[in-house]
Structure 1
Amino acid sequence: MIPDWMNNVDLQPGHFSAGRHGKKGFIGKTIEGILGFLEEAFLSESYSKRSGLMQSLDPRVKLLSILAVVFAASMISDLKVLVAIYLLTLLITYLSKIGVGFFIKRVWLFIPIFAGIIAIPMIFNVFLPGDPLYTIIHLGAGAHLGPFSLPESIFITKQGTMAAVIFTMRVATCVSAVVLLFLTTPQQILFKSLRTVGVPKIYVLTLQMTYRYIFLLMEQVREMYIAKKARTIKSRGLIDDQKWVG
């Protein structure tokens, strides 16, 4: 369905040049962690060859079950139910002969990056009104930020904190379910199962190309960072690294 060269991308674990004191920078650690996770979770088929629970199921059953879990987690707003589904995911991970510690560490690598951007503002009364949980600063009456009026006090709200926790757990549950599917199902079989459940061929082809180009893009980012480090004489700080990203 896709060109052979796209199925033969050889991404070896990279080595980022360290600073003068042998420490990797902020960007190096981030890129290496994300790319290492992608390689282990989506390129390695060692987990899919193990004799575990998920590996023994028909790929179509796994696909439909995971989609059902993702849909349910997206609709549920009860924290206890979300935690129960997440713990069930970890139990299935254990029964599928996958290290639970490895699984948790790799999944939660993405949670602060993506969920945190949305969840953190939710805890403040500026964005989501609610009952005070912890006061950050008292501004007084008539406070403004440009054309925008501000409340007398900026504080963390109980409702906002609960909403942020629920959102984070929802993301963690959905990501865990999807990663578990990829870990326990060979790539070609997974995409073939999409066709058998009625997904149009053009969409499956698009997903396959996207899947492969994610790694090609990350490899380009890795090479750009290594080239930057090679041209750097003096080690730069965290702020400079963040400026390079943005």
Structure 2
Amino acid sequence: MSAISSHSLQYLYLCENKLQGNVPDSLFNLVNLTELCLSGNWSGSLHFPLFSKLQNLEGLSLSGFSSLLLGSSETNASFEFPSLLELQLLQVDLTDFSRISWRFPQLNTLELSENKLEGKMPKWIHDINSLEFLELSYNQLSSTGQFPWHDLQYLDLSFNLLTDDNISFICNQSVLETVNLSHNKLRGIIPQCIANSSSLAVLDLQINKLHGTLPSIFPRNLITLNLNGNQLEGRLPRSLYNCTSLQ
């Protein structure tokens, strides 16, 4: 891809192509850019912190990068993305995932599915207080850690290696609508406090190692409930009759 010189450019969509080569340095001079979507078989490495130069960027989607470096060559460098609302990094070979130092004061959508992320969910994700949509499926994460997001509406951690004993973090969430923790190794019981999740509409816990009996009360707004492939026992609670929207 050749150099880009239109500094007034605000929207650049190059996804769903077969672009090759290196991302031109001129891209990071587009200071008025608000939306950027890149995908392709890019060669060479790309330092993600370079995108922090685009201070007006609100939406960023990257995929197909063979080597996307999340850290910086600068020691203890910290980067802020003041306007970014949506960040999507799909099928990229992420490195230094847990050691980066980023700040996203307004980010509400984060998608990092189909990567090789492993271990505990890092602190920099926990620090994004504005998150509403979090998609981390098809990785190798082992633990969620704390649950600090009060505005989260959508959570997908399916197809990971989660082994947490306690999933009560989904309780007392006033706006959480969708929770997908399927295809993990979660242990413990389904907490009784789940009834407090008044907005919960989709709960998918299939293919885990959950045991014990079902909670006596489920949220009335449930539309989808999937619990197969666990070690649950006992009777179905009568309260499910009150879930009139259940499909």
Shared fold (TM-score, shorter chain, > 0.5): no
With the shorter chain as reference, the TM-score category is under 0.3
Structure possessing the higher relative contact order (Cα contacts under 8 Å, 6 or more residues apart) = 1
Bigger Cα Rg: 1
TM-score by length of 1: 0.21
- Bigger proportion of residues as strand: 2
- Bigger proportion of residues as helix: 1
